Amino acid sequence: MAPPTITGLRGTGQLSTVTLDWTPVPWATVVDHYAVYVASGSTWTLAGKTVYPRFVHRKLGFTAVTRSYRVVAVDAAGNSSAPSRTVAVANKTSVTVSGRPIARVGYYDGKGEFALTPNRSADYLATFPNDVDYTYGVSVRDRDWCYLQPGPSDKWAGSKNHRVRFRFNLAARPTTDLDLALWLIDSHASLAGSALLSVNGTQLERIAFANGATKGSTLNDSTLPGSPLKPSYIERPLPRRLFKVGQNFVDLYKDTGSWIAFDAFGIYARS
Residue numbers at the binding site for other proteins (CB under 8 A): 24, 27, 30-33, 49-54, 75-79, 189-190, 192, 211, 226, 228
Q: What DSSP character marks residue 27?
A: T
Closer by beta carbon to other proteins, 27 or else 129: 27
Could you tell me the smallest distance in angstroms from the CB atom of residue 262 to other proteins?
Answer: 21
Nearest-angstrom CA–CA distance, 228 and 75:
29
In this structure, are residues 229 and 246 in contact, taking their beta carbons and an 8 Å threshold?
Answer: no
Closer by beta carbon to other proteins, 68 or else 227: 227
Could you tell me the smallest distance in angstroms from the CB atom of residue 47 to other proteins?
Answer: 14
Distances (CA, A) of 244 to 168, 171, 235: 11, 9, 21
Could you tell me the smallest distance in angstroms from the CB atom of residue 49 to other proteins?
Answer: 6
Closer by beta carbon to other proteins, 145 or else 209: 209
Nearest-angstrom CA–CA distance, 38 and 89:
10
Closer by beta carbon to other proteins, 68 or else 194: 194
Nearest-angstrom CA–CA distance, 133 and 118:
20
Chain centre to alpha carbon of residue 185: 8
Closer by beta carbon to other proteins, 191 or else 242: 191
Q: Are strands 132-135 and 162-170 parallel, antiparallel or unpaired?
A: parallel
Could you tell me the smallest distance in angstroms from the CB atom of residue 32 to other proteins?
Answer: 4
Edge-to-edge strand order for the sheet containing 202-208? 132-135, 162-170, 246-254, 194-199, 202-208
Closer by beta carbon to other proteins, 22 or else 265: 22
Nearest-angstrom CA–CA distance, 184 and 261:
6
Q: Are strands 178-187 and 260-270 parallel, antiparallel or unpaired?
A: antiparallel
Could you tell me the smallest distance in angstroms from the CB atom of residue 125 to other proteins?
Answer: 22
Closer by beta carbon to other proteins, 129 or else 225: 225
Q: What DSSP character marks residue 159?
A: S
Could you tell me the smallest distance in angstroms from the CB atom of residue 114 to other proteins?
Answer: 25
